[in-house]
Structure 1
Amino acid sequence: MSYDGIVTRAIVDELNKTITGGKISKINQPSDNEINLIVYNNKKNYKVLLNASSNLARVYITDISKQNPLAAPNFCMFLRKYLQGGTIKSVRQNGIDRVIFIDIKTYDELSFEVDRTLVIELMGKYSNIILINKEDNKIVESINHVTLDMSRVRQVYPGTVYKLIEDSKKDITIDRVLPSDIIKQLEKPNKLFKFFYQNYTGFSPT
């Protein structure tokens, strides 16, 4: 099964039911592209796996434990500094796209409340995990940096303003699909799924 926008919607719904209102008690990074959030909620610990690998980016709740490195990577240290002890306010999706936002209430060194968002982009080779300040939408840190030399369209590194990946396809949650368009596709064998995949974001080719 492809990890498309529809699967992402189901994952977001599950996370909202299980970890919203919970507190982030631990953060680990067992591998280069993977983060584990341990969230305590309703007298239970949930391990949320966030993976930004190019070939198998995914997010889900797991019971599997992995060995963590003796020295935590820099990105993990940033997340611990800014998010550990924070409370999850909501989990949301960008339309039907493969982008998940985890909104977290945290506190700064002076105990002032600060809202931050952990963004997980499940976009194949463009997959990323990005921490942003919600107030100004600026990136604090990301697991993968994208500089101007790497992309003239969109940069991802500390201090830049976070922007969504541009998509030429339509958002089916906003754009109305006309019944006449669907009927036309039904007249062509095996063409209906291509109609949605080619025109609307969040659909996989299979």
Structure 2
Amino acid sequence: MGRPKQFDPEAAVEQAMQVFWRQGYAATTPQDLVDALGIGKGSLYHAFGSKHALFELALRRYRDSQAVAVIELLGGEGPVKDRLRAALRMLVEMDLTDPDRRGCMAVNTAAELAGADEVAAELVRRMFDRTEEALRALVEEGRRSGEISPERDARAVGSMLLSTAVGLRLLARVAEGPERLALVVEATVDSL
């Protein structure tokens, strides 16, 4: 009979997500992961196969735990522009209140690995697609309710809003305060 696992794999993926999110993929060493997870290298490789396989699990966990909040807010109740403003402000607040200024793990991964890691790029692409779809649906709803001009192309506006959200996440990593980001949020909502 084999030895029982000495750690919780779900908790280990959560810890790994925190490390990758803070440091990025390339800067994270197997020793960093071993230290954060509190397990030996053998256990790490036995449980997850490789650093990259663990990174994929961490990126999926990020998608399931972090990215969902914005989509839920966009799909909620109330005026369309208020929901959009609230979602963009939530992103800014999350980033500015994070003491490590980690930004968005998906955006960070796109910047770091998109040209070199097709698996990571595809995971990020699907996250962005999911967010863009929620934004497009919000614009469609706004067109039906009269909050947004029916002449506006919902798909194009959804893509613009995704680009704005990604840009906000990057700006927040270096912003000295919320002022510039608040201007971007208000200008974006007013442009609709």
Could you state the TM-score of these two structures normalised by the residue count of structure 1? Answer: 0.26
Hey, which of these two has a bigger chunk of helix by percent? 2
Higher strand share: 1
TM-score normalised per structure 2: 0.27
